[in-house]
Amino acid sequence: MSIIKKVRGFEPQFGKDCFVADGAVVVGEVTMGDRCTVWFNAVVRGDVHSITIGDDTNIQDGAVIHCTYQKAKTVIGHHVSIAHKAIVHGCTIGNYVLVGMGAIVMDDAEVGDGAVIAAGAIVLAGTKIPPNTIWGGIPAKQLKETGTEMREVIERTSRNYPMYAQWFKDEAQ
């Protein structure tokens, strides 16, 4: 069973056709768009500041979305994939972005539309990532620009997660 909880008077708000898997936690000042998915053991914790998530965004298994008290809210765009065990903290993520497995995006970072944060990368606080670029390493540096193939991967991933959620919804009936 998932945990969806009101904190400090704020209750999570969900758009149409969202899916929250067993073991996932969504608390506090969280607003999700339509067709968002939050997977097993992911945590979206809007207890100390707001978290806003656009349409067709997936928060995969074990990912953590949080913010900094009275300082840095978290804003995540449309068609974003936050991969397994990634941490997104007090930052802004544009549209059609892929944050790879185990990557960390820290406070006040800004990730432009169409960007990719490679698996295991650490985006330091305040970093500004231009649109359509791929960043990796510790600390993350620009590796190259996203090409057509990578943009297709980003779009396909955001399209597939609502389909995966439907499989679980179908089994529950």
For residue 162, give every residue at least 6 positions away whose Cβ sits within 8 Å of its Cβ, in sequence order, or none: 17, 19, 35, 37, 56
Domain boundaries, the chain: 3-172
Give the separation between CA 46 and CA 153, rounded to whole angstroms.
Answer: 29
Residue 70: both structure tokens together = 């009275």
At residue 172, the pLDDT reads 73
Give this prediction's pTM: 0.96
pLDDT at 31 > cutoff 70: yes
Q: Could you tell me the CATH superfamily of domain 3-172? A: Hexapeptide repeat proteins (2.160.10.10)
At residue 173, the pLDDT reads 67
